[in-house]
Structure 1
Amino acid sequence: MNSKVQLDPASIPSRQSQVSAEEWQLRVDLAAAYRLVALYGWDELIFTHLSARIPGAEHHFLINPFGMMFDEITASSLVRVDQDGNKLDPNDFDINPAGFTIHSAVHAVREDAHCVMHTHTTEGVAVSAQQDGLLALSQQSLFPLSNLSYHDYEGVALREDEKARLQADLGTTNFMILRNHGLLTVGSTVADTFLNMFILQRACEIQVATLAGNRALTPIPAGIVDTIKQQADQVTKGMGGKLAWPGLLRKLDRVNPGYAD
């Protein structure tokens, strides 16, 4: 697509009639997630990325067009790529190669990780740079701590050989802190993955604020972390991200409609 179209997402024709109903719904949810990331101030201009796997054996997935702001992404502007980073539609936008490296690594080995979100927020990067990582200082921190992994920084994620190390570090966890880099969450749906990122981000915000207070800390006893996985289902009535997702979409419809175009 030419630069003029790239600067004017409204000129992109709708793809709703060109894809399955299932893929279209996935596009709508992922576009909404991009706009919610912008709404909550977790974006970094055109950088960082969210992706979602399209159902099927091909391991194709959707990712953001490189150069478009998160608050203007639409369902039709998302780029469909294969596991090797090739655009399925040559007329699509280009993608961020670093985004492809991280996301394709996860999608290749985690069949349950239908969605992957990655951010570079101030608080997330700050905690990722702290030697002890995420601390058990708040109720919010306990949910990620029960299912958290770390990946050491190796430079901008462009090298193919880093994939295997990232995959091994992630393992079966749904929360990851990329050292000196940022945050990553995965989930079976866009809604679940967004909720995971919301909780991890909030835990990092609280930790940065707490440490800035320069007072003696009251850490949560280690044994409590073991009970959190069961309590999480009780908090969301077993619905996970689906409980909050309709309200988040209604909020978007009020303040930034158009994501479903």
Structure 2
Amino acid sequence: MRFENLDAEAIHALRVDMAAAFRLAAQFDWHESVGNHFSAAVSADGKTFLMNSRWRHFGEVKASDLLLLDAEDRSVMERPDAPDPSAWSIHGAIHRKCPSARVIFHCHPPYATALAGLQNPELKPIDQNTARFFGTLGIDLGFGGIADDAAEGERLAEAFGNRSALIMGQHGVSVTGPTVAEAFENLYFLERAAKVLVLAYSTGQPLNVMSEELARKTADGWLPYNDQAFAHFDYLKRQLDKADASYRN
């Protein structure tokens, strides 16, 4: 897929969508105090990107708050408005190495993070939502502490590869998408899928795991429904606008 550099109007629209995603993540209880980070590429090579500023709560992020960063600029962390070190480590590396990862959301939603804390954090296909990620979900078990150095960021970028989502063992999750709406939908369904699996585990009964053939068929069955991401995100933005449209500023 070929990507183009965004013009000023497109960048502003991207800022608005990103700010909406932050506000919605706080409403959905996917945030973690004033940590975690979302980013979106604005250049064709992915190396110039928008990301939230350091320690601003998701619930008050505005479009104008987002930092414009260059993944090749090693002096970013010397800026007076430097981003969170973990955010720079993870997102800088992925945007630098994976230009197809246009939008990247990293956070610690409760059920997906609970799954990430299991010895086997595999998202077993037991229903439509869990099967949605069959074949496109990576699992990283190399957690080495808070990802605040270049080496850890590079390692996570390699673990992500061309997958649409990554369960980060003992850490949390990251998802990507071509647009904010699609990345948000991936995160939405990943958390719902993790919830289904965690609740199923909690019964203590054996899981009814799909065969690989059925799981793949179910995952492929989701593909024609991709555009529902835009309808869902547009609806959620309309609800934000009714309650508090300040995210657009």
Same fold (TM over 0.5): yes
Please, which moves more after superposition, 207-216 or 197-206? 207-216
Change (3 A) 1:57 1:217: closer
Task: Give the equivalent residue in structure 2 for 1:10.
Answer: none
Please, which moves more after superposition, 108-117 or 177-186? 108-117
Which of 126, 131, 146 aligns to 1:142? It is: 131
Task: Give the equivalent residue in structure 2 for 1:202.
Answer: 192
- Are 2:47 and 2:99, in contact at CA under 8 Å, matched by a contact in 1? no
Please, which moves more after superposition, 166-175 or 196-205? 166-175
Moved over 6 A (4+): none
The CA distance in 1 between the partners of 2:135 and 2:26, in whole Å, is 27
The CA distance in 1 between the partners of 2:75 and 2:11, in whole Å, is 18
Task: Give the equivalent residue in structure 2 for 1:13.
Answer: none
SS class of match (1:80): strand
Shift of 1:113: 1.1
Change (3 A) 1:85 1:100: farther
Q: Deviations over 1:143-168 (max 9, x none)?
A: 12230111221111012112332222
SS class of match (2:166): strand
Task: Give the equivalent residue in structure 2 for 1:8.
Answer: none
Consecutive unaligned residues of structure 1, counting only runs of 5 or more, are: 1-18
Counterparts of residues 74-85 of structure 1 (less than 5 Å): 74-83=62-71, 84=73
The CA distance in 1 between the partners of 2:185 and 2:98, in whole Å, is 19
Q: Deviations over 1:78-100 (max 9, x none)?
A: 11111136559x67x43111011
Change (3 A) 1:57 1:207: closer
> 1:70 aligned to 2:53?
no
Which of 217, 221, 225 aligns to 2:211? It is: 221
> 1:247 aligned to 2:232?
no
Task: Give the equivalent residue in structure 2 for 1:129.
Answer: 117
Shift of 1:137: 2.2
The CA distance in 2 between the partners of 1:185 and 1:58, in whole Å, is 16
Which of 147, 157, 172 aligns to 1:167? It is: 157
Q: Deviations over 1:74-128 (max 9, x none)?
A: 000111111136559x67x431110111111111122221100011122122101
- Are 1:233 and 1:240, in contact at CA under 8 Å, matched by a contact in 2? no
Task: Give the equivalent residue in structure 1 for 2:98.
Answer: 110
Consecutive unaligned residues of structure 2, counting only runs of 5 or more, are: 1-6
The CA distance in 2 between the partners of 1:69 and 1:148, in whole Å, is 28
The CA distance in 2 between the partners of 1:32 and 1:230, in whole Å, is 29
Shift of 1:56: 4.5
Shift of 1:221: 2.3
* TM-score, normalised relative to structure 1: 0.85
Change (3 A) 1:164 1:65: closer
SS class of match (1:227): helix
| Percent identity for Structure 1 against Structure 2 | 26
Please, which moves more after superposition, 222-231 or 62-71? 222-231
Q: CA RMSD in A?
A: 2.0
> 1:100 aligned to 2:88?
yes
